[in-house]
Structure 1
């Protein structure tokens, strides 16, 4: 090992060389700090990766020697206070968040041209990889042609979006897109895109840890592979693509000690629901979570990835496992080259980052522990992923929750008597293929058309109407996917069937899943229970469940039923899965199949039979539940590196639809004037070359008064577009038929649609419009009730700034940039909340919206606020000008209709000096554009 010459930005003499085979790489050695007397073995694994990042990025400006030394001497008990500049190696996107990001970059090229600069300066400087996985919808299901029909409809609906992305691939350097139908971005990342060790090209190639930020909360799935990464808003990701560091406070790190081994009957999903519940109770928002202990050696990498995936659900920035022998085994299994595997092993061992069983334990801010042997079968619901319920208590829990789930038109007499679909009369014959498929208007629309029975005979509160094996969380995990296949096989062999009112679907996270299902012979049994493959994408977990059969939907609506979805996903927030479904439960894939068979959520799977077998005898869950040995035997015989190599060899090619898709060319995009999918982002319209002084917020009106746990699903447009809502009216006025509305997610490249859907979630409750659900408010001072969008238009005409009042955990959930973009376009200038989710707070700043936080113990109710007041924020400009040297709180003056005034203090949640610059520029993209234009 020979030291290379010390250079600028190498204060600790860390720049060195590492020879692997016949290649030599420059690396920044962590033990350079050890030679300066700084002990690093006490640092958590995740912080050592951050430390290498700072060593490599040291320039005396963005990263200083003092920053490096501060992190190296990290105090685990100190409150986060020091900002560091983190530069990820790459950016990962999915198409819902990726399309608006590329729209913004395209609009920046136009703006750069208008400012007299070179539009080609607007390019990703880091590799930006986008996987199209969010646009497939479950229209057709339960038939052999489900996949082909859904894929056809996907291309019909998204031609403009996909052509735009193909333009992006040709116009931007460092940008690539994985076509639709290949898999979910996090599974494709885990199985293919992740390098674990990144290398550069050129005469002096460098090797360094693979790190990333992603435009999806569940980017943390890659933490299971030892890769540090987390979700950020689309606007932050765009800035990272353009070479801006991610400004962050040095985090606290929670150590999660795992011991023991999962017992028979418990799955990785049960484990992650347990972990989620524990960490939510502990409180880890804004913190790193790092797993350690003897128990991690008992977890296959896919189980680790499942736990890492759910970091947003337990509130952490990331949930990381160290690189170890299991990491290398997984890289080999998934078809990575031996050269890459050797690079990973050598680099991590050389840097002291490779975990072995007797590795010394790091110091943590706090620790928590779990014996894996204590994990029990569980589900989570009906509204939040952290609301874990033991499987044996699920039915009783639902009945207890039922009064709080009833809709406004629920049957007054409570639960109705119904005819159960069971026994011999409930067994329907295979429907001829001619009865399936497509009508002129699309997929068959009713259960009666499919099965010849009237749906209203058997629906009731608690009926399962959606059963979906979906989501990145579990579809990447062979153990739970194989378990679902084995359970289906045993159920079919016993003669069990799925009731016809249950909309079933299987959406694998990659084509590899289909390969091992077919190789193991399990797919036919899933097909027999109507769990046919519907697509390779996120589907139900993100609200792309598609419409329920019209007779099912009508029955739910007519009787105000609390229908249920069961899914192997990570999100079950109100209104997310399907607008007809009020209760949603997360669970493992085999439990999804089990509940589909039972047809009800209040069925006691542990003590009651699921149904009667073909021999007339009752069949219990224990009779069809797979053993760990059965699962491991199938995995051993059906999964090998060849299937990964085969599928990923053609991952960039796409199908004939993608290959034949025509797209425009040129360095700036040729916007289609009549497009309802892709429109030029308005954020740079009329933007001066230098920012104008910060304007004080005076005499603002309240657009909405919201409670606790308002998620980005409540704020950001998602799911289906209602015909009679502002967005539906806009599309109708532009000649779009309701059948072609598509979803909000697919139209995220059109700000006109998205702003009309902001705060329009069917389950949103605005206290300013009591007794309503959905995007409703009152226009003040008239007190006229109308849609939030229509009110915003009237306020804009009056030049009245707007604010939002909210409770705890405002903006939790997915990292949706439109949860900040939408409010900004509505005219929202500030939010005052009790607390914020990490990503959403930064997104608000990134869009030029001021996040304020009530002082501890204070909230809307305790201050006697109604939302009918006008609000003025005092002293903001002085605090920004002083970089908060004169304090971080501002006075908020609320004037009631009768003229009485209340003044209270609120904390400014602009958390870093860099964020001050973003806010002063009107947003992060405006800041970056001005910086690039000035060069």
Structure 2
């Protein structure tokens, strides 16, 4: 669990009254570090500003038996790949990019905090049985291409919801040309197409990575079970029979991709990118180039950056755009420090940031532009929703591979194509970049020294249960960042009548739109305070504005927080209406907790993203689906809405929605849902956590 989601997960676990967790677990402090200047200063500031949160997480880990990774130890998914993930393991993580571990042949699934609590207390964790997309990789990647381009291309084909309800399994001879960390990049960004997870077969490349990270004993065990860590021969011989879908990608003809802006599935091949930028009239000048995030911060990634900057130095080129770089872990940082990479990065003026998420999740304090300036950035991250990186709605964020980001930083322009264009060096001569060299392995002695010792920043859960009882997890009642949770009320066993429409969201409404990150991360442990950001990024379908909705009590338009507080004071019951793939993006369960706290009983959408739909169910909100998507258009701004047949709620049952329009007319239509028997019980008892407590208390 990362520190932003672990707060609420542990607050929920504490409600179970158990004295210890029932399976291995860890907390990683990577989300709360604000990128501003450099690693040293930013990390120092984070430890001061977030001391209350870090102390809470550490005390909870010590008391209940979780590993704790201190700030600066690294990004959760890179740390997991280096230390925990092994072939054949099942991992759940409270972060949507947990499938990063699929690169090492783990089944790794991103979940909400309440799902994690199921596992921590020893209850069954359930998941709708996914289908399988088989992606057949042929050939080997050409120069300038990287594993990132495979998933960027695939995102363009599948779109942000095309992988929903599927595991993506990669197979074919092309797989074996990819490194373990390259596969992790692909698995990581499978979250951007909605996939449950992604997985690669175990082979020599994976075993080499496990061995290089000083876990040869694990590699030896994995070899003994190699047959179950790859697709069966029958599947490889007849993939169309066994997979629900098959997608073919020829790596030898693949070219680099750049995706964006505003959506990670907006894929454009590099050869067409300059035309695309000019046609759309996007800013051509690049204001910042950023490398890192959980998607591309491995040693292999940074070695390709080093290769291009080495060329640039020889060819007398300088950066024309500021370059920001975040190593994935302290181990990666130590490697690039000892083998000279860091020296070259600093010679080029690179801002080397803490081993943390930073700008990728909006933890970036920019001083190079004014607020709301129109600008373009390019990065090796995974998501590029509006406002995500820097809070600026006018920042056009483009996602690509580390080598393309580096090349673009040397040019300063989105019109540059390093595969064919030249740059003018300091001698006024035209020079051309060559593709980056393959990553040379770091010296074995260095890897043994770094990976063979106890990881820096790890506080292990090695005390017995009796010793752990002495630890106290305290929360100040005056804290603005932490707040003990109160149980949500159980369903009243009545239909929902006279629901007020909080908002009818138009178009893309991600968990970032529902519960923004950035400066709001500081309130992730305080439900009342963070609920003030509910849906402030969502577009109101009735006026195409954000944070601007109708208040039926004042008959005026106001910010959502003010209107929602009005409803809460009046104890009004609410409904939210969403568009397609409502709740895509991160796993943050605050996007479900906040509406529940503010009185939302129902969320109705054309379709849901998997994790968010589950999170709504876990918190006792009824997620409903339009049967006829055109009924979305029938809902008017001042409607009062009834949801009938809730008293007859069963798996696969249909409910009736009645719209009472402002002019006195009514309209009704049927809606459906995906709750199974257990999930129906969550709803009836008020939340999954309520059901867990009731089950444990009666055991």
Q: TM-score range by the shorter chain?
A: over 0.9
Query: How do 1:324-335 and structure 2 match up within 5 A?
Result: 324-335=203-214
Deviation at 1:654, TM superposition (A): 5.7
CA contact (8 A) 2:524 2:530 kept: yes
Over 3 Å counting, the alpha-carbon distance change for 1:103 and 1:509 in structure 2 is: same
Q: Distance in 2 between the 1:666 and 1:913 partners?
A: 40
- The reply to whether residue 754 of structure 1 matches residue 527 of structure 2 is no
Deviations 1:454-499 (A, max 9, x none): xxxxxxx3432221112111112x4432111111122233333334
Q: 1:136 to 1:357 in 2, by over 3 A?
A: farther
Select the residue among 508, 512, 515 that pairs with 1:709.
Answer: 508
What does residue 593 of structure 1 align with?
A: 406
Contact 1:322 1:355 (8 Å CA) reproduced: no
Q: Helix, strand or coil: the match of 2:572?
A: coil
Tell me if 1:819 matches 2:591: yes
Give the whole-Å Cα distance in 2 for the aligned partners of 1:352 and 1:522: 35
- Whether the 8 Å CA contact 2:498–2:641 is kept in 1: the answer is yes
The answer on whether the counterparts of 1:805 and 1:867 sit within 8 Å (CA) in structure 2 is no
User: Is 2:691 the counterpart of 1:869?
Assistant: no
Indicate the residue corresponding to 1:772 in structure 2. Answer: 545
Distance change (3 Å), C-alpha of 1:126 and 1:377: same
Change (3 A) 1:136 1:570: same
| Partners of 2:661 and 2:578 in 1: CA distance | 18
- In the alignment, the residues of structure 1 paired with residue 97 and residue 559 of structure 2 have an alpha-carbon distance, to the nearest angstrom, of 32
Note if contact 1:187-1:509 (Cα within 8 Å) is conserved in structure 2. Answer: yes
- The corresponding residue for 1:807 is 579
Structure 2 length normalisation: TM-score?
0.93
Name the counterpart of 1:345. Answer: 223
In the other structure, the counterpart of 2:25 is 128
State the alpha-carbon separation in 1 of the partners of residues 234 and 145 from structure 2. Answer: 24
Decide which moves more: 339-348 or 867-876: 339-348
Q: 1:528 aligns with which of 343, 347, 357?
A: 347
CA separation of 1:796 and 1:532: change in aligned 2, threshold 3 A: closer
Offset of residue 275 of structure 1: 2.3
Which residue does the alignment assign to 2:56? 164
The alpha-carbon deviation at position 715 of structure 1 amounts to 0.5
Question: Partner of 1:368: helix, strand, or coil?
Answer: strand
Displacement, 1:782?
4.2
Q: CA deviation at 1:705?
A: 1.1
Q: Is the CA contact (8 Å cut-off) linking 1:717 and 1:754 kept in structure 2? A: no
Cα deviation 1:328-376 (Å, max 9, x = unaligned)? 222112210x332221111344x58587899655611121111111110
Q: Match for residue 616 of structure 1?
A: 428
Q: Is the 8 A contact 1:261 1:372 kept in 2?
A: yes
For the 8 Å contact 1:247–1:914, the answer to whether it is kept is no
Give the aligned partner of residue 264 of structure 1. 143
1:571-650 maps to which residues of 2 (within 5 A)? 571-580=383-392, 581-606=394-419, 608-610=421-423, 612-619=424-431, 623-627=432-436, 630-632=437-439, 635-636=440-441, 638-640=442-444, 642-643=446-447, 646-647=450-451, 649-650=453-454
In structure 1, distance between residues paired with 2:632 and 2:664: 18
2: CA distance, partners of 1:818 / 1:618: 52
3-state SS of paired residue (2:655): strand
Q: CA deviation at 1:159?
A: 0.2
Q: Deviations over 1:571-599 (max 9, x none)?
A: 11111011234210001112222222322
Task: Give me the whole-angstrom Cα distance separating, in 2, the residues matched to 1:818 and 1:680.
Answer: 15
Residue aligning to 1:930: 694
**What residue number does 1:553 align with?**
370
Alignment counterpart, residue 490 of structure 1, candidates 298, 311, 314: 311
Measured after TM superposition, the shift of residue 295 of structure 1 is 1.5
How far apart are 1:393 and its partner, in Å?
2.3
User: Which has the larger Rg?
Assistant: 1
Query: How far 1:709 sits from its partner (Å)?
Result: 2.4
Task: Indicate conservation of the 8 Å contact 2:505/2:541, yes or no.
Answer: yes
Task: Report what 2:465 is aligned to.
Answer: none
1:874 to partner: Cα distance? 0.6
The alpha-carbon distance between structure 1 residues 138 and 667, as it changes in their structure 2 partners (threshold 3 A), is closer
In the alignment, the residues of structure 2 paired with residue 515 and residue 653 of structure 1 have an alpha-carbon distance, to the nearest angstrom, of: 13
* Distance (Å, rounded) in 2 between the aligned partners of 1:915 and 1:282: 23
Question: 1:926: Cα distance to partner?
Answer: 1.2
CA distance in 2, matches of 1:920, 1:358: 43
The answer to whether the Cα contact below 8 Å between 1:489 and 1:522 also exists between their aligned partners in 2 is no
Residue 251 of structure 1 is aligned with which of 130, 155, 158? 130
What is the aligned partner in structure 1 of residue 607 from structure 2? 835
Deviation at 1:504, TM superposition (A): 3.0
Q: Counterpart of 1:412?
A: none
Match of 2:487, SS state, is coil
1:541 alignment counterpart: 360
Aligned CA distance change for structure 1 residues 840 and 180 (closer, same or farther; 3 Å): same
**Alpha-carbon displacement from aligned partner over 1:895-920 (angstroms, at most 9, x marks no partner):** 1111100101111232x211111111
Question: What is the alpha-carbon distance in structure 2 between the residues aligned to residue 378 and residue 848 of structure 1?
Answer: 41
User: Cα deviation per residue 1:287-319 (whole Å; 9 max; x = unaligned)?
Assistant: 111111122122222221111111111221111
Aligned mate of 1:178, from 69, 80, 88: 69
Q: Shift of residue 683 of structure 1?
A: 3.1
C-alpha contact (below 8 Å) 2:520/2:530 kept by paired residues = yes
Q: Provide the C-alpha distance between the structure 2 equivalents of 1:639 and 1:823, rounded to a whole number of angstroms.
A: 52
Aligned residue in 1 for 2:680: 916
Tell me the equivalent position of 1:148: 40
Distance, in Å, in 1 between the alignment partners of 2:265 and 2:276 is 14
Match of 1:745, SS state, is helix
Q: Residues of 2 paired with 1:318 and 1:268: CA distance?
A: 17
Aligned with 1:229 (options 108, 119, 143): 108
Alpha-carbon separation, structure 2, partners of 1:282 and 1:750:
31
2:259 aligned partner = 380
Contact 1:855/1:907 (<8 A) preserved: yes
Per the TM alignment, residue 131 of structure 1 is displaced from its structure 2 partner at its CA by 1.4
Match of 2:661 in 1: 896
Tell me, yes or no, if the aligned pair for 2:161 and 2:609 is still in contact at 8 Å: no
Q: 1:924 Cα deviation (Å)?
A: 1.0
- The structural deviation recorded for 1:803 is 0.8
Unaligned runs of 5+ in 1: 1-92, 110-118, 141-145, 197-208, 406-460, 656-663, 720-742
CA contact (8 A) 2:581 2:607 kept: yes
Deviations 1:88-132 (A, max 9, x none): xxxxx11111122112223x15xxxxxxxxx3x253211111111
Instruction: Indicate conservation of the 8 Å contact 1:471/1:538, yes or no.
Output: yes
Q: Quote the Cα distance in structure 2 between the aligned partners of 1:565 and 1:836.
A: 29
Distance 2:413 2:405 in 1: 11
Deviation at 1:604, TM superposition (A): 5.0
Q: CA deviation at 1:783?
A: 3.0
Residue 878 (str. 1) matches residue 648 (str. 2): yes
Structure 2: give runs of 5+ residues left out of the alignment: 460-467
